Structure 1
Amino acid sequence: MKQKEDLSPVLLLLFHLMVCIYSFLAFLPSVFLSWVSRLDGDGICYGSEEDRAERMKACSEPGHPEGPYRAVRATKRLESTLHPGVHTLDKMFENAARRFPRRHCLGTREVISEEDERQGNGKVFKKVVLGEYRWLSYQDVLTAASQLGSGLASLGQRQKNNIAVFCETRAEWIIAAQACFMHNFPLVTLYSTLGGPAIAHGLNETQVTHIFTSRELLETRLKAILIEVPRLQHIIVVDDSPASWPGYPRDISVHNMAEVQELGARPENASRERKPPLPSDIAVIMYTSGSTGIPKGVMISHSNIIAGLTGMAERIPNLNEEDTYIGYLPLAHVLELSAELVCLAHGCRIGYSSPQTLADQSTKIKKGSKGDTSVLQPTLMAAVPEIMDRIYKNVMAKVEEMSCLQRTLFILAYNYKLEQLSKGYSTPLCDKLVFRKVRSLLGGRTRVLLSGGAPLSAITQRFMNVCFCCPVGQGYGLTETCGAGTISELWDYSTGRVGGPLVCCEMKLKDWVEGGYRSTDKPNPRGEILVGGPNVTMGYYKNGSKNEDFFVDQNGQRWFCTGDIGEFQKDGCLKIIDRKKDLVKLQAGEYVSLGKVEAMLKNCPLVDNICAYANSDETYVIGFVVPNQKHLLALADQYGIRGSCEDLCNSKAVEELVLKTLTEAALEAQLERFEIPRKICLSPEPWTPETGLVTDAFKLKRKELKTHYQVDIERMYGGK
């Protein structure tokens, strides 16, 4: 062992020498190739990171720091169509099927076997072995959607009458959606993790008579609330299921999706004339899972979605039929739906997955079997920051387990690549020798990662840029703007920003005096972000009191007041710096941004998730923390404390140790003393959409968290 340790400095010296020799030999070719690869379509070389950050992405009229800000390429007019003459979603897919009829469209992995695996703690996990992807072509999907739409019409579904989809992300979801778009049935989307009251509210508010769902959700969620949804008549089950469904009310018919397609394929039904939708017709009523209160249904027209897709497509270079996208986020979320629709518009293929089967190490994949990314090898992928943070922490945990030599080599390579990226150069040797294994976690072919749903930490973004050898496009958008707002240019490697406005919209800053944000602030204008353009949706369904966040200007353009606080920087990039609803005034008058506190402390390796909380009647902030189990056990072991994760989370001594670590991290992140949580509560169980404590995009549900931890809040505030 000692001999190996003695060899370490020699090997490190050899590594440095190899890098120097490689850099010298490859300097001129790499400079030339990098210069060529850094040219955009206009023949512009982006150069170093400083050069990239200085190049204008968006601008406002001189003397108007409040905006509106527009993308440089959209200074004359906002763009709203992907293809000439294609203004509705049915036409968009028909156009793609005409251009790419035999190309792979939607893919699903075959389930070879399933088995229960008992863990050491007595818990049982279901493990699966999956085969290859089976594909439907674009023509197959178009035919299936057409037949399904005709079958629904035969079951009494009428144009402009709402129809719901309450289902996990899968190929049948998109086929059902395309059927509804073709026949002008407004599609009501509901998250598969919503609770019974929220599901019943959405179905009753939209007066749904027909619904798509899966066998599992029907049995575990929907069946229990059928008595509360009197208008529901037809349930269409999307997966393989029994021929008959005993135990359901007589006035409700349960159908298999294949049967409804067969019904629609009959000559008398297939020949029935359909009236296609207009661009102004509602395509989707999307119920947000919301961080507070009852879910709201956002009305989204065909033209709204087409405009949003137009803006997104412009930021993804060379998007074409050779691309493969992996779909695993909830399709009821605007990020995933928009990402899949923009891929379908360009002839890409979409392979379906789930968070439990995504990678070889995912919870449902049997040890030794391949996860979905390994088999599909996607080139495009969307992710929420929660998932990217998890990948980052898992990889760094493995780095910590490496030998001293391996860890040092990894860090050297990481820092070397960071330096080269800042100069605008590529690092093919490091990519091949050091980062290939990390890159293979996502299949090894990923060329674009799109992050949305919440701000992505600078540390995680840098890590993904370096280790996965591809750009990360960080974006900003809301359901109310079709998910479209901003996406960073993929050649801009700066962190902590979300890019400039897309070509489909423009943005303004509105002064928020109470929070101390004004468009006249120096060095950069700040204020509440307002988004305007053809992608701004039609408002909330039957919820007039909430529609005050929408307004129409003197030119007839719709705007949405986001409630987010932003800052426009000199190059036209937007930085999200606060949120109005997250601002709490303490008893002594200090304002605390809970979101800011959480974003800073989530960078601490000891933290898997955190919710900051403050009561205006109190003088200090408290917090609920889901600790990283591995780091928590290591911290406790360091002080001679033993026990399970649950025991440690209930230990006062461990709580104090974690608080001390968090306080040090907060001071290092330059949080003010009054912003740092003074007391914390540790949670051994992670917060997932299934627990009801976070949304499907993993945003905190503050109201539910407050209720869940009410006893702990009273304890931490001394019984008040």
Structure 2
Amino acid sequence: MVDAVAGAMAHVGVAPHGRAAMFGANSPELMIALQAGNRGTHTVYCVPLYDVLGDHSVEYIIEHSGTLRCTVLPRAAAESTIVFVAAGKLAVLARALGEVVLPVQVRDVIRACGVRVHRFQEFAELGREHPSPPAPPSSDDICTIMYTSGTTGVPKGVLLTHRTLATAVASLAHWMGCVGLDIGRDHGDRYLSFLPLAHIYGRCVEEAFLSMGACIAYWSGEAKGLPADIRASQPAIFCSVPRVFQRFEATTLDKISKAGKAQQALFHTAFNLKLAALKAGAPWDKLASAVFDRLVFRDISRGMLGDQIKLISSGGAPLARHVEEFMRVCGCAKFVQGYGLTETCGATFVSDPDRPDQLYTVGPPQPAYELRLEAVPDMECDPLGIPPRGEVLVRGEGVFVGYHKDEDETRKAVDAEGWFHTGDVGEVTPGGALRIIDRKKNLFKLSQGEYIAVEKIEGVLEDSELVGQVWVHGSHYESCLVAVVVPARRRLEAWAREQGIEGAYCDLCRDSQVRRMLQHELEAVGRKGGLKAFELPKAIHVEEEPFSVANDLLTPTFELRRQQLLKRYSGVVDGLYESMKSRAAGPR
């Protein structure tokens, strides 16, 4: 099939070093098309797209990448995007499996533009009728132009070569061997393709498992259907972003809260004892789990991730400590955190699941990478301090070769010695693992000169079972922080019932008693988590609508879009500061 699709690409006129846009949800057809680009008669630069980018970003990427003749393979694409594709930008549209039903008006636009439309199988048959011999690319040829979603500004096209991706895949496979994971076809291991293939995290992990002969199962594409997908596929490996693990935790704790007193006591006792054993260095599958897994946690793990799970991996965004603890205890499998950027080809750092000193870290750099910390004097980050802190710099064969059509940004990001400046500030633990503190651009001073790392603060505050999401804001014009809090809905409703407070969820979010309770809860959780007094928000707004990709408050990797949050809540923020100043001034 790969040979056929590659032949079809060549036949329809994808020129040497031409661009082929790949647009759609994870599917066998999408991976086949990506591999066809790798195998092509001449190297083809794949340009992954995904629907949550929005039509404007898709249009920008197609224009910026120079994708004028390409293959698009959507299982489900926005009608407006198909209209745009049909409006003269692309010469060929290959439609996967006939699942996208084009409206009559869209078909008319396509025909008027002279765009050829093929079902995926028809496109493959076209390649069989016009075969082309494989011509493997060189290691320095571009493999993909992967556009970062970014929290600000327009997407940047990250140029990743075949050497870069091969290095990352080999590094990941080596790491699995080092931590005792024997993955392959002989064991019947499956990987659930859930992370978007348009993101480097999902792409590299899937390529790694293909290289080891593992089976790939593709999720249905519907978040509500993920549990059913897991039950059907029974994955050995599950890689995801923190938001999914937060949902696992919230759902489980909600069930526990509704159980009898004896069951609640058993769960919490078992949880604390197993966590203490793991922190002391007991292997997750032996002493720490000898009794409690059979009594308590195996059923929880089976409900979340099936019977065959061996490894659980979190990446793409910071993971709250309480969520990591929950997954380590209740997952009944090795659990790791990883860190990397599109520019460093994904899993640049990965923790060791069997080392307790790497809890709450993203681990050491992988074999193909070097780590260096650079001082950030304004933030009092010293690489020679205790602990060593600074901006995280990465160098190695797995680092990108530049930004497409943007030499200025490339020079800003990569220095003369080849070090890529990530923009993240981190510290190195005594055991050599990296702990990410915050984005450099998210560090600022309050008016009295105290330094603030908002991402670290948000991570601590989200340890509260009553908090679903939180955005912390401050500036050098103000002396304190404020926050917008999205409650954990089920937990808040349960608390309201216990307090005898009536009303729908939206009413609870506007209730002054709820706001005061959440304010006190944040203060208690913050102090427990080691936050200083000036790091605690002094006023909060309770928001019923979760931050999401759909409302443009999260990136596709579920990071906060801080500029959009400030734009949306600027009036709320101003009101919180004004009310505090009015109270401080007292009656006139």
TM-score under structure 1 length normalisation: 0.74
Which secondary structure state, in structure 1, belongs to the residue aligned with residue 378 of structure 2?
coil
Q: CA RMSD in A?
A: 2.1
Question: Relative to 1, partners in 2 of residues 1:218 and 1:633: Cα closer, same or farther, differing over 3 Å?
Answer: closer
Q: Give 3-state SS (helix, strand or coil) of 2:556's partner.
A: coil
Shift of 1:500: 0.9
Letter in 2 for 1:381: F
Return the structure number with greater relative CO, CA threshold 8 A, min gap 6. 1
Q: In the TM superposition, what whole-angstrom CA distance separates every residue of 1:121-140 from its partner, at most 9, and x where no partner exists?
A: xxxxxxxxxxxxxxxxxxxx
Distance, in Å, in 2 between the alignment partners of 1:533 and 1:215 is 36
1:64-103 counterparts in 2 under 5 A?
A: none
Within 5 Å, give how 1:204-603 maps onto structure 2. Answer: 204-208=63-67, 209-214=69-74, 216-219=76-79, 221-226=80-85, 230-241=88-99, 246-249=107-110, 250-251=112-113, 252-266=115-129, 269-270=130-131, 272-316=132-176, 317-321=181-185, 322=187, 323-354=189-220, 356=222, 363-364=224-225, 371-421=228-278, 422-425=280-283, 426=286, 427-441=289-303, 442-494=305-357, 495-522=359-386, 524-551=387-414, 558-603=418-463
Q: Normalising by structure 2, report the TM-score.
A: 0.90
Cα distance, 1:708 vs. partner? Answer: 2.1
- Give yes or no for contact 2:541–2:572 (8 Å, CA) kept in 1: yes
Unaligned runs of 5+ in 2: 582-588
Q: For 2:496, which of 636, 642, 648 is the aligned residue?
A: 636
1:160-218 deviations in Å (ceiling 9; x for gaps): 11111121122211111011111121011123201221111101001212241425314
3-state SS of paired residue (1:193):
helix
Following superposition, the deviation at residue 681 of structure 1 comes to 2.0
Q: Is the 8 A contact 1:549 1:562 kept in 2?
A: no
Which residue number corresponds to residue 95 of structure 1?
none
Q: 1:490 to 1:640 in 2, by over 3 A?
A: closer
What per-residue deviation string (whole Å, max 9, x for no partner) do you get for residues 354-386 of structure 1? 5745xxxxx348xxxx71111211111101112
Instruction: Give the distance between the partners of 1:500 and 1:294, measured in 2 at CA.
Output: 31
Tell me whether 296-305 or 692-701 shows the greater mean CA deviation.
Answer: 692-701
User: Could you tell me how far apart the structure 1 residues matched to 2:247 and 2:229 are?
Assistant: 17
> Partners in 2 of 1:675 and 1:247 — Cα distance?
58
Question: Is the CA contact 1:214–1:239 (under 8 Å) kept in the aligned structure 2?
Answer: no
Cα distance in 1 for residues equivalent to 2:149 and 2:490: 31
- Give the alignment partner of residue 568 of structure 2, picking from 708, 711, 718: 708
CA contact (8 A) 2:24 2:75 kept: no
> Partners in 2 of 1:213 and 1:702 — Cα distance?
32
The answer to whether the Cα contact below 8 Å between 2:24 and 2:76 also exists between their aligned partners in 1 is no
On the 8 A contact 2:301/2:332 being kept in 1, the answer is: yes
The 3-state SS of whatever aligns with 1:408 is helix
Aligned counterparts of 2:205 and 2:28: Cα–Cα separation in 1: 14
SS at structure 2 position matched to 1:604: coil
Letter of the aligned partner of 1:519 in structure 2? P
Contact 2:98 2:119 in 1 (8 A): yes
CA-to-aligned-CA distance 1:669-689 (integer Å, 9 cap, x gap): 221222211222222222222
Task: Tell me, in whole angstroms, the C-alpha distance in 2 between the residues paired with 1:281 and 1:333.
Answer: 20
Distance of 1:419 and 1:650 partners within structure 2:
39
Whether the aligned pair in 1 keeps the contact of 2:270 and 2:292 (CA below 8 Å) is yes
Are the equivalent residues in 1 in contact too, given 2:29–2:73 (CA < 8 A)? no
When you count helix as a share of all residues, which structure comes out higher?
Answer: 2
For 1:608 and 1:629, the matched residues in 2 are separated by 8
Query: Superposition pairs for residues 21-32 of structure 1, below 5 Å?
Result: none
- What amino acid is aligned across from residue 558 of structure 2 in structure 1? F
Of 530, 554, 560, the residue aligned with 1:670 is: 530
In the other structure, the counterpart of 2:52 is 193
Partners of 2:325 and 2:546 lie apart in 1 by 25
- The 1:647–1:623 alpha-carbon spacing in structure 2 relative to 1, beyond 3 Å, is same
The 2-side partners of 1:460 and 1:493 are apart by: 16
Preserved CA contact (<8 Å) 2:321 2:463: no
Aligned mate of 1:647, from 488, 507, 510 = 507
Match of residue 15, structure 2, among 142, 145, 158: 158
Distance 2:232 2:456 in 1: 38
Q: Which amino acid aligns with 1:169?
A: N
Structure 1 residue 600, shift from structure 2 partner: 0.5
Q: Distance in 1 between matches of 2:127 and 2:73?
A: 19
The residue that corresponds to 1:62 in the other structure is none
Tell me which residue corresponds to 2:476. Answer: 616
Amino acid at match of 1:392: E
Quick check: 2:487–2:544 contact (8 Å CA) kept in 1? yes
Aligned length: 559
Aligned amino acid, residue 165 of structure 2: I
Structure 2 Cα separation of the partners of residues 457 and 376 of structure 1: 28
Contact in 2 for aligned 1:315/1:490 (Cα 8 Å): no
1:545 CA displacement? 2.5
Task: Report deviation, 1:430.
Answer: 2.5
User: In 1, Cα distance between the equivalents of 2:499 and 2:362?
Assistant: 41
Query: Aligned in 2, Cα 1:716/1:235: closer, same or farther, shift over 3 Å?
Result: farther
Q: Which has the larger radius of gyration?
A: 1
**Distance in 2, Cα, partners of 1:673 & 1:394:** 32
State the 1:601 CA deviation.
0.6
Identity rate of aligned residues, in percent? 31
Deviation per residue, 1:63-107 (Å, 9 max, x gap): xxxxxxxxxxxxxxxxxxxxxxxxxxxxxxxxxxxxxxxxxxxxx
